[in-house]
Amino acid sequence: MPQAVVEVSGLVKRYGERNVVDGVDLTIEPGECFGLLGPNGAGKTTTLRMLLGLTPPSGGQIRVLGHPIPAEARIMRTRVGVVPQFDNLDPDFTVRENLATYGSYFGLRGRELERRIEQLLEFAQLADRGDAPIQTLSGGMKRRLTLARALINRPELLVLDEPTTGLDPQARQHIWERLRRLLGDGRSLILTTHYMEEAERLCDRIAIIDHGRVQACDSPRGLIRTHIEPHVVELHGAVDPTWLAGAQSASGVRLERVGETVFLYGFEREPLLALADAAGTEYLYRPANLEDVFLKLTGRELRD
C-alpha cells in the first residue's frame, strides 16, 4: 500500500488555556481530494498551518509526504504547493515576474523555470497577460495566478485555504475545473472551504471540524447517509401556530426553526409532503445535502 500523504494523530494546538485544535486524527491517501469543513474558529486554518510547519503543535504527531513535521517542514515544503486564504501576490511585479520570483524561493532558475512558467500561464489562462501588472488583474485572475504559483515546484500535494472565497460563479467554476485536472494528474489536494457545494463536488472525503475536533469524516454521500434524514422540506414565511405544534409532535419528523424558516426532516417522503401540504404556506422539497449535515453537526448559532 502506498504511503499516506498526510498522517496526523492526537494533534493539539493550545493558546493560553484554550485548545484551538483538540485531538485531531487524519489520514489522507495519495490522489485524494480531502476537504476540511467547519465554522469560523473551528481550527481549520490552524490545522493547515501545523501541517505546513508554520506553527509548532502543542501535542501530537504529524507526517506529511513521509516527513516528520515540524522537524523536516522546510524540506517537505519543497514538495508541496500552498494557496493561502488571502492573495499575497507581489504587487510590484508582473504576472510572469511573480511566478519567476516565487520559483526562485525553491531554487528554480534558468530555461527549466521559464518553460514551467509558460506552462503555468497556459494552465491559468493567463498566457496573454504574462506582462500585465498585478493591479490590472480581476479577482478571478489573481486567484488563478496564485494557484499557478503554488504549482511552480510541481508539488505532489496542494494545500488550499478557501480557494474560491469571494469569487463570482464563473471564476469559481474555472478554479474547480483546474483543481479536477490536477487531481486527474494524480496530485493530492487538501482544501478548506465554507461552500458546501464546493466540498460536495470536489472532495472524495470530508472532515467536519468543530471545537478543534473532527466531528465526522467520510465521503460526502457517506456523511449524508449516516448523519441526516434523506428528505427535507423547507417552509418559508409565517406558519400557523396550531400546525406548528402538531408538526413538532408528529412522529417520524424532525423539525428545526431558523427565524421565519421551518425545516422538516424525515426518512419517508410521503408523510413529510402531506404534513407540508397541511401548513398552508409555500414550501420547497429537496433531498438532504451536505449543508444539512454540517448544520446538524455544528449547530445553527452564528460564529463570528
Question: Which residues of the chain form contacts with other proteins (CB under 8 A)?
Answer: 12, 14-15, 52-60, 68, 70-75, 77-78, 82, 84, 86, 88-93, 97, 101-102, 104-107
> Which residue, 161 or 210, has its beta carbon nearer to other proteins?
161
Q: Compare residues 15 and 267 and give the one whose CB is closer to other proteins.
A: 15
| Closer residue to other proteins in complex, CB, 165/281 | 165
User: Is residue 167 within 8 Å of 177, Cβ to Cβ?
Assistant: no
Query: Residue 61 Cβ, how far from other proteins at the closest point, in Å?
Result: 9
Nearer to other proteins, 141 or 232 (CB): 141
CA distance 118 to 297: 45
Q: CB 179 → other proteins: shortest distance, Å?
A: 18
Nearer to other proteins among residue 86 and residue 249 (C-beta):
86
Q: Which is nearer to other proteins, 69 or 288 (CB)?
A: 69
Taking the least distance from each CB to other proteins, the nearer of 109 and 225 is: 109
Closest CA to 239 of 266, 268, 275: 275
The DSSP secondary-structure symbol of 124 reads T
Write the single-letter amino acid at 51. L
Burial of 35 by CB count in 10 Å (0-12 exposed, 13-18 middle, 19+ buried)?
buried
Report, in Å, the least distance between residue 55 CB and other proteins. 5
Distance CA 178, CA 144 (A): 9
Report the residue number, 46 or 298, with the smaller CB distance to other proteins: 46
Torsion angles phi and psi, residue 161, rounded to 5: -100, 105
- Least distance (Å) between residue 56 CB and other proteins: 5
Nearest approach in angstroms of CB 217 to other proteins is 23
DSSP annotation of 240: -
Smallest distance from other proteins to CB 284, Å: 42
User: Whole-angstrom Cα distance, residue 272 to residue 232?
Assistant: 8
State which amino acid sits at residue 105: Y
Q: Which is nearer to other proteins, 89 or 247 (CB)?
A: 89
Question: How far, in Å, CA of 185 to CA of 139, rounded?
Answer: 26
What's the distance, Cα to Cα, between the start and end of the chain in Å? 42
**Shortest spacing between CB 88 and other proteins, in angstroms:** 4
Give buried/exposed letters for 202-223 (b at 16+ CB in 10 A, else e). bbbbbbbbbebbbbbbbebeeb
DSSP 8-state secondary structure symbol assigned to residue 17: T
Q: How many CB atoms lie within 10 A of CB 113?
A: 17
The least CB distance from residue 155 to other proteins, in Å, is 11
CB of 141 to other proteins, least distance (A): 17
Dist. CA 52–CA 246, nearest whole Å: 53
Give the distance from CA 202 to its chain's centroid: 9
How does strand 231-235 pair with strand 283-287?
A: antiparallel
